[in-house]
Structure 1
């Protein structure tokens, strides 16, 4: 691909990612999410240990993690298939006029399911500064996660590398240097370019006719069901395969039975 087209494709994806991350309700509060989900299956002490460290370090069984993950995917898929595009675009998003509202909405739900799956599979907080923007390390990590959803092999390798770096850290945080200028950064840029191309060809061009006319437009249910759920399951499968997810020995009370309802 010519250099100019590579830059354009990368820019298109980066713009969409930043615009989607700024939409209301997209950024997930890790602590609140983990408490809400884990309290349905685990004793309070284990829940708090999971919030302070990770579900894996708190010894949350993988069958509990997988059950929550499947519920999250079902919940977010249901929401994105039913949700109409916002009539008004919030301030930060309005600045990026090149990103259509329906596309940003779709990727907003992609980011929601990415965060929820990452947190339940023991990844650290992706938005630690609680700001409206997205810092470089977070943007790189989200790019890799979305790349896994789209089946980009380089993204799977990148996520695996980052998980290994996190596992080695005493303080569990995203490896800023590796994601912004280290060995993983070139992988991130490659994935962003590939996603930009796929987004243009597969999502934008081929599905434009499927956008249902309405106030602001909506993503068609058939399109979403054909893409969102399989993509989410692909990410879940990869995250579940990583050593970062494996539960540690924990001497506290054992989790209760697997009852519960879909996440809010």
Structure 2
């Protein structure tokens, strides 16, 4: 692909980075294992099993517990990605060209890790249902929307809310494949990917300038990461927490039954 084509289609550049990051070791989070670890200090075994089988909301887990688990996950991922970014910034000078792709990949990898953790603790279904190396289209689309929310893309918030409503309405334990790949959500995904492609280019440049200065570059790189990763994670947390899907005791099938009774 030529440079001109990449500029004209920035969304393609972003999805390539996202797909590459999703294939890195340790990026994919096991939903059941994560929920068990995140909830074991606060919940009974029965609640944990219900949260894994259905969702934390269906298990009636209080929002206070969900918030604490989410904050713990954010703090862990922020500390880890900031430390790695600082180390990656140390070489400087001639090593700059070689470290930028690796740093961006690990940064994106941690964004995907925290997006998965927040999704699972806020009652979303498993994002990676296939154990293969390739990321299926629906999962890719959903991750693009989550990252879009982290970057503050307004239409991404609407896309995530619509998918959440679909999951709730269908009492689904998986992502709405058709809507995310060729249906009503897909045009939103394409727009968000395009925006993120442009934003990613700007971020690479900012980090690249920092790394051109040895030692000081390492401090700047870590500071840039801390100053972006933490607020972006909090932004996604706030949005997911606002959705009806995440409310304790939320059972869509009961809501539908009550609504049907009122109509009749």
TM-score when scaled to structure 1? 0.83
Q: CA separation in 2, counterparts of 1:9 and 1:119?
A: 29
Higher-Rg structure is 2
Provide the aligned length of Structure 1 versus Structure 2: 233
Q: What is the DSSP-based 3-state SS (H/G/I as helix, E as strand, rest coil) of the residue aligned with 1:128?
A: coil
Q: In the alignment, which residue of structure 2 is the partner of 1:35?
A: 36
- Bigger drift between 5-14 and 39-48 goes to 5-14
Give the number of the structure with larger relative contact order, counting CA–CA contacts within 8 Å between residues 6 or more apart: 1
Q: Which deviations, in whole Å up to 9, do the C-alpha atoms of 1:118-162 show, x marking residues without a partner?
A: 000000000011222210000000000000000000100000000
Q: CA separation in 2, counterparts of 1:20 and 1:7?
A: 23
- TM-superposed CA distance for 1:102, in Å, is 1.1
Q: 1:108 to 1:218 in 2, by over 3 A?
A: farther
> RMSD value over aligned CA atoms?
2.1
Q: 5+ residue gaps in structure 2?
A: 89-97, 252-264
Q: CA separation in 1, counterparts of 2:53 and 2:21?
A: 28
Q: In the alignment, which residue of structure 2 is the partner of 1:22?
A: 23
Q: What is the DSSP-based 3-state SS (H/G/I as helix, E as strand, rest coil) of the residue aligned with 2:9?
A: helix
Higher helix share: 2
Q: CA separation in 2, counterparts of 1:181 and 1:219?
A: 41
* Residues 1:56 and 2:51 aligned together: no
Q: 5+ residue gaps in structure 1?
A: 86-96, 251-264
Runs of 4+ in 1 over 6 A off after TM superposition: none
Q: CA separation in 2, counterparts of 1:61 and 1:160?
A: 21
- TM-superposed CA distance for 1:218, in Å, is 9.9
Query: What is the correspondence of 1:108-147 to structure 2 with a 5 Å cutoff?
Result: 108-147=109-148
Q: In the alignment, which residue of structure 2 is the partner of 1:205?
A: 205
Q: CA separation in 1, counterparts of 2:173 and 2:219?
A: 38
Q: 1:168 to 1:113 in 2, by over 3 A?
A: same
